Amino acid sequence: MSESDLDLFAPEQFSRIAGVDEVGRGCLAGPVVAAAVILDPNRPIKGLRDSKKLSAKKRDELAQEIKEKALAWSVAAMGPEVIDKINILQATLEAMKAAVEKLPVEPDFVQVDGNKLPKWKWLSEAIVKGDDKVEWISAASIIAKTTRDAYMCKIAKLYPQYGFEHHVGYGTAEHIKALKAYGPTPIHRKTFAPVREVINGLSTDTK
């Protein structure tokens, strides 16, 4: 859809707008998680904004409120094996599409954070920094973030030496140090440069 096409539409024309956002695109390990949320206009939620600008405690509180008050919400994830196979952009778009498809209520319009849209049947638009501009995208950001963080904290128990409960898979100094010391786990993205470099180094060392 072109910008001129969008001029014909305004959000207030639609009764069931789904907001969509993803979390984990830049991580070295773990899935990319997308969420879709259709808010209930009769049950407003205060304090919605970009999940990265909220404390963990506030995110958890808002996530629970969103799940209780939204007309519909859903999450979908694409794991490291999918990311390595089709690349992170395509995996992200597939996760977004799957999240909307899983909604128990059919949206009549979809707004996505970012500048790219999945290939799907819904009338939609992408909004740069939408997670801090549009409340239903903010809600999706919060659901995606809390869902992924909870998953990575569970994974941390399987691989305690990596500190996943702290960095949730992002390429922090702590994570890179552990990666070099212990090598990649099954949840690491092998096509991402820091992981690939460690794998190549291990292969060289074993020759």
What's the chain's average pLDDT?
Answer: 92
Question: What gap in Å lies between CA 105 and CA 88, rounded to an integer?
Answer: 28
When pLDDT is cut at 50, 70 and 90, the band that residue 26 belongs to is very high
Quick: pLDDT tens for 57-116.
999 999 999 999 999 999 999 999 999 999 999 999 999 999 999 999 999 999 999 999
Sketch out the chain's domains with CATH numbers.
Answer: 3-157 (3.30.420.10)
Quick: pLDDT tens for 3-22.
434 455 566 678 899 999 99
Instruction: Report angle CA 94, 95, 98 to the nearest 5 degrees.
Output: 85
User: Of 182, 187, 177, which is closest to residue 155 (Cα–Cα)?
Assistant: 187
pLDDT of the residue at 160: 97
Q: Which ranges of the chain does DSSP label H, i.e. alpha helix?
A: 3-6, 56-69, 80-86, 88-101, 135-158, 164-167, 173-182, 193-205
Question: What gap in Å lies between CA 46 and CA 30, rounded to an integer?
Answer: 31
